[in-house]
Amino acid sequence: MDDMTKWAVVVSAEHYESERLYGTDILTLPPPPPGTSDGATPDPSGSLPAGASKHLAADGSAERAPGATGGLTPGTSAAPAPGTSAAPTPGTSAALAAGDEALLIAATAEPVVFGLARSDADGTLHYTVNLLDAPIPAGNLATTTPGMRRLDEAAFGAISEQLNPRPAPERRTWLVSVDLPIEASSPGEAVRAFWSYVRELGPAELPAFVWPSGDELSMQAFVLGAEANQDPE
C-alpha cells in the first residue's frame, strides 16, 4: 500500500466527541452537497462540506448518535500545515481511493491524532489504529480547520510510526451499569420508564458506571465518554 495517497482528515471537536461516545469501526465522511458531483470543483478552503456525519454499525446499517451533530463544517481558508499539499482537495469521500491511509485529527483546543484509518473502494475510512482513549498531540499537523488534505510520506510517517508499534491492549470483560431510581406501579412500567430516560437523556446527562469483572471496588463513572467523579449511590 506504499504507493497509495496519505491524508490528514481533520474533524470538528463535536465529531470527535461523538466518536468517543459511540462504538464504531468506521468513520464515514459526509456526502457532497446537493448540486455537486464526485468531480466537483474543490472548495477554496480545502474543507469538507457541511453535513451530518453518519456512523455505521458493525453490521453495516446506519445508526445515529442521539443528540449528537457530529457534522464537519467548512472552515476558513488557511495556509497548509507542514507536510500537507498546498493545493486544496475535493471535500468529498470520492477523493479517497481504495487503500489510501489517513491520520484522523480532532480540531480540539489542542488538536490531537485519535486514530489511523484506511479507505475502502467506497471512500469509507476504517480504523486500523484506535486512539480514542489515548490520543497523541498532532504536532506540526495541528489545525483548527476541519477538512481533508494530502500528506507527504515524511509527514505521515512521523506520526504513524508512533502508532503502529503500540501493542494491542489486553481485552477483558467489563461490567457497565446505568442505575436510575424510578417510581412505578409495576416492574414493566419501571422498565419502560428506564428506557425512556436512557433514550431522552443519553450519555450527556446519565453517568455510566464501569468496572472490571470481579473488581467492583474499581468502579468508575463516565459522563460524555470521560471519567467523572460520581457517587454510584
115-171 pLDDT per residue, tens: 999 999 988 999 999 999 889 999 888 888 888 999 999 999 999 888 766 666 778
Give me the domain span that covers residue 224: 174-228
Q: Are residues 125 and 150 in the same domain?
A: yes
Query: Tell me: the pLDDT tens digits for 20-73?
Result: 888 789 986 655 545 544 433 333 333 333 333 333 333 333 343 333 333 333
Cα-Cα end-to-end distance for the chain = 52
Across 123-137, b (16+ Cβ under 10 Å) vs e yields bbbebebbbbeebee
Q: Are residues 124 and 12 in the same domain?
A: yes
Q: Which of 106, 133, 163 is the last residue of a domain?
A: 163
The whole-model pTM stands at 0.64
Q: Are residues 54 and 105 in the same domain?
A: yes
